[in-house]
Amino acid sequence: MATEVLENLKSLTKKAESKMVLLVVDGLGGIPHPDFDYQTELEAAQTPNLDELAKKSVLGLMTPVNYGITPGSGPGHVGLFGYNPEELVIGRGVLEALGVGFHLQPGDIAARANFATRDERGIITDRRAGRISSEKCALLVEKISQEVKEIEGVEIILRPGMEHRFVLILRGEGLGEEVKDTDPQKEGLPPYEPQALKKEAEKTARVLKIFLEKAHQIIKDEPKANAILLRGFSRSPHIEEFPERYGVRALAIAIYPMYKGIARLFGFDTPEVEGDFQDEIKLLRDKWFDYDFFFLHYKDPDKAGEDGDFKKKVERIEYLDRFIPQILALRPDVLVITGDHSTPTLLHSHSWHPSPVLLYSQYAGSRTATRFTEKECVNGYLGQFPARALMSLMLANALRLGKFGA
C-alpha cells in the first residue's frame, strides 16, 4: 500500500501558495571516528543555528536506496526527488553531460571522466589528479579534442567540467552503453580495460580502448593528470518531470555540473551560478518569488569526506551553519536539510549509512531534539524512512497533498 501511494502522489497533489526548500548537504552523514572521541563530523561541528532550528523541527534518518546499499550521487538524488532509485537508473555520464549544458541526441553514449595520476607501473595513485584546477582541466580537454576527433566512424566529443572532471560523449552508429567502468574506484589498482558486457556494446568498448590509448599518449608527460578514468556509460532516459509530477514551479541552485545535470533531467530550471555557497543563497533570494520548490545543493562536506579529512568536513559543516538564518529569513513553509548519502571520513567514500534529516514546518509534529546530529536523528519523530518518501512529507507539510481514499 505504501508503495502504491508513493507512486500515485500526482493524483493527490493540490495547489497552494506555500514554498519548500530542500537543502542537500552532500555527504552529510558520518560514523563515529576513533581519532576524534568517537564523534561524527556533524556531532563535532559547532552549529548553533542548525541546533536551534532542530529544536523547532522534527528529525529522522533516511535510507537513500535500500538497507546496506551504498548509493552514487545519481540514485541518491533520484530518491530525494520522490522517484524509485532501484527502478529509475540514470547513468553518471548522462548527468555529467547535462550538467555541463550538453544536449544529448538519441543514441549518444555519455561517460563521466576523471583525470587521474598513475605511477610508472600504471597504478592509480590519485583518482582525482590532485584536484587540478578547472582551467587546467579545460586546457587538457581541448588538447585531446584537437587530436582525437573520430574513431571507427564514431564522433568523439569532450566537454570540461569542474576540477578533474570532464565528459566524454560518443556519437555514431552501432553503439551500446553496456560497458564496464574503467575506474577502479580506489587507488592502488590499475585502470580497468573497457569491456563490453553485452554483444551490442563491443564496438563501444573497442572505440573506448583506442580513445584511451591515444589520449594517454597525449597526456603522458603531465605531472598529475597523466591518466583518464571512465564510468557511468549511459543514454538519456525518458522521465516524468518533477514540476508536472508535483504541480510546482521548481528551481535548482547548484554549482557543480553533475547536480545541475540531474536537476535538468527532472525538469528543474537551472540558472547559472558560480563561486561559493553564499552565491547560491543570493540566487535563492533573487528567485524567491518566482518558484514554489527550491533544490539547493552544497558540495563541500562530501569532498572532505572522500579525502578522509575529518577536520575539513567539520569546518565545511560549520561554514554552512552561518547561512541558516538567511534561509529562514525568507520564511519557507517547509525546509528540509539532509544529504543524498553519507560520506564518513573514516571510510573516505560514500557509504550505506542513513542520512540525517531535519524537517522544519509549522505542522511537522512532536519536537524533542536539542541538536542536529545523527544521535538525535536516531530518536527523532520521523524515524527511519526511504528517501523516496521525503517528497510526500514535504508536500504534506506544505499543505499540497489531498486526502487518500474515501
Q: Between vectors from CA 181 to CA 299 and to CA 258, what angle results, nearest 5°? A: 25
d(CA 388, CA 400): 17
d(CA 82, CA 22): 12
**What digits encode the pLDDT tens for the residues 201-254?**
999 999 999 999 999 999 999 999 999 999 999 998 888 899 999 999 999 999
Q: Which three cell numbers stand for residue 406?
A: 474515501
Q: Which three cell numbers stand for residue 303?
A: 569532498
Enumerate residues 6+ apart whose C-beta is below 8 A from 214.
144, 147, 148, 151
Domains and CATH numbers, the chain: 2-86+239-397 (3.40.720.10), 95-234 (no CATH)
Residue 336, SS3 per DSSP: strand
d(CA 330, CA 4): 35
So what's the pLDDT on residue 89?
Answer: 83
**What digits encode the pLDDT tens for the residues 67-88?**
999 998 889 999 999 999 998 8
pTM: 0.80
So what's the pLDDT on residue 262?
Answer: 87
Q: Which of 12-26, 258-272, 283-297, 346-360 has the lowest mean pLDDT?
A: 258-272
How do beta strands 293-298 and 334-338 pair? unpaired
* Model confidence at 37: pLDDT above 80: yes
So what's the pLDDT on residue 192?
Answer: 94
The residue assigned the cell 558486457 is 197
The pLDDT-based confidence of 95 (bands split at 50, 70, 90) is confident
So what's the pLDDT on residue 315?
Answer: 97
Is the distance from CB of 230 to CB of 103 less than 8 angstroms?
no
So what's the pLDDT on residue 99?
Answer: 79
So what's the pLDDT on residue 70?
Answer: 95
What's the whole-number mean pLDDT along residues 288-313? 96
* Model confidence at 281: pLDDT above 50: yes
So what's the pLDDT on residue 103?
Answer: 84
* Model confidence at 319: pLDDT above 50: yes
The pLDDT-based confidence of 43 (bands split at 50, 70, 90) is very high
Residue 276, SS3 per DSSP: coil
* Model confidence at 402: pLDDT above 70: yes
So what's the pLDDT on residue 7?
Answer: 64
Is the distance from CB of 205 to CB of 197 less than 8 angstroms?
no
Is the distance from CB of 179 to CB of 199 less than 8 angstroms?
no
* Model confidence at 3: pLDDT above 80: no
* Model confidence at 1: pLDDT above 50: no
* Model confidence at 194: pLDDT above 80: yes
The whole-chain average pLDDT of the chain stands at 93
**What digits encode the pLDDT tens for the residues 128-157?**
999 999 999 999 999 999 999 999 999 999
* Model confidence at 405: pLDDT above 90: no
Instruction: Please give the residue that has the higher pLDDT: either 2 or 114.
Output: 114
So what's the pLDDT on residue 132?
Answer: 92
Considering the chain, what percentage of its residues have pLDDT values greater than 70?
98
